[in-house]
Amino acid sequence: MSMTVKEVQSEILRLKKEKDICILAHSYQAREILEIADFTGDSYALSKMAAKTESSTVLMCGVRFMAETVKILSPEKKVILSSPIAACPMAEQFEKDDILQLKEMFPDYAVVAYINTTAALKTVCDVCVTSSSAVEIVSKLDSKNILFIPDCNLGAFVAKQCPDKNIKLLQGGCPVHAAVSVRHVKEAKALHPRALLLVHPECVPEVAESADYIGSTSGIMNYAVKSDKTEFIIGTENSIVEHLQYMCPEKRFYPLSKSLLCENMKATTLVDVLNCCQGCGGEEIILSEDTIQKARRCIDKMIELGG
């Protein structure tokens, strides 16, 4: 017998209550998933929620590094990634050994890891940051010399905001955001000349420099909601265009590029969430005690410095 979206959502809500499951959903998830989540937000907000939730099971609707972060912060909980194939490609661009070699070459550099990294990589880093907390955290670090991994675009944005720091970058980054070019900016502005341009710092510096606002997914959403302007070009995953249109029906939102689609964030369907709640889907995150202990240091430091 077929089910409607509403019926699937009701069944998820019933099951998560019965089984004490907390559903965390990143803002890039589909609308019907955000509607049944206990908490939604950017990577930073979800990390903080992960540390606070009291449920015995956490279901992460997002990508693998986000579920790993929950497990690291709450090792006693059962943590499930909603779709086993949802993995941020940027998180896997460098191996732990690459970073260990760099640490040997640059012993007086603090290693700052974007949270979009594997748990294994986090074990050899000094502090984590997210797009919304990076500038604040880097500016508070004692070390002047910083090796920022893996996203060179977020790193360049941080370097610009923290001119007193000496920041070394690697050639990593988000393939989805980095594919947006100045040509897309020109085309979108020509189509929507009155719109403000809001972009994620994972975009290349030439794109970020032409923006009216640069911020995390939540930063972009808050800016658009609070602004007294009515038209916005959105330079991040296109789900945010849709979510904002629901949140502010009186305003207009346009994608900066139709290629701003993260297939990994879109891997999770509402039925995957139902299957996970029924105990027959997703992937339970298992990490060794050693990885949890070592990776936790840099996530705890992020929460301590990020406020």
Q: Which of 202, 214, 238, 274 binds ligand 13P (CB under 6 A)?
A: 202
The tokens of 286 are what? 């298992």
DSSP alpha helix (H) spans, the chain? 5-18, 31-34, 43-52, 64-73, 96-105, 119-122, 134-140, 152-161, 175-178, 182-191, 205-209, 217-226, 239-247, 270-277, 289-306
Count of residues near ligand 13P by CB under 6 A: 12
d(CA 228, CA 243): 18
**Site stretch for ligand SF4 (CB under 6 A), options 2-10, 162-170, 223-231, 261-269:** 261-269
Backbone angles phi, psi at 123, to 5 degrees: -65, -20
Task: Please report whether residue 264 would count as binding ligand 13P according to CB under 6 A.
Answer: no
Burial of 211 (0-12, 13-18, 19+ CB in 10 A): buried
- Candidates 11-19, 181-189, 259-267, 281-289; binding stretch for ligand SF4 (CB under 6 A): 259-267
> Side chain identity at 71, as an amino acid letter?
K
Q: Across the strands, what pairs with 58?
A: 22, 79
Q: Taking Cα atoms as reference points, which of 254, 156, 237 lies closest to residue 197?
A: 254
Which member of 63, 141, 158, 276 binds ligand SF4 (CB under 6 A)?
A: 63
Site string for ligand 13P, 31-70 (x = CB under 6 A): -----------xxx--------------------------
Q: Which stretch binds ligand 13P (CB under 6 A): 73-81, 130-138, 223-231, 241-249?
A: 130-138
The footprint of ligand SF4 on residues 104-133 (CB under 6 A) is 116
Using the rule CB under 6 A, is 116 a contact of ligand 13P?
Answer: yes
Q: Does 131 bind ligand 13P (CB under 6 A)?
A: yes
For residue 165, the 8-state DSSP code is: S
Where along the sequence are the contacts to ligand SF4 (CB under 6 A)? Answer: 63, 88-90, 116, 174, 176-177, 202, 237, 262, 264-265
Where along the sequence are the contacts to ligand 13P (CB under 6 A)? Answer: 42-44, 88, 116, 130-132, 174, 202, 216-217
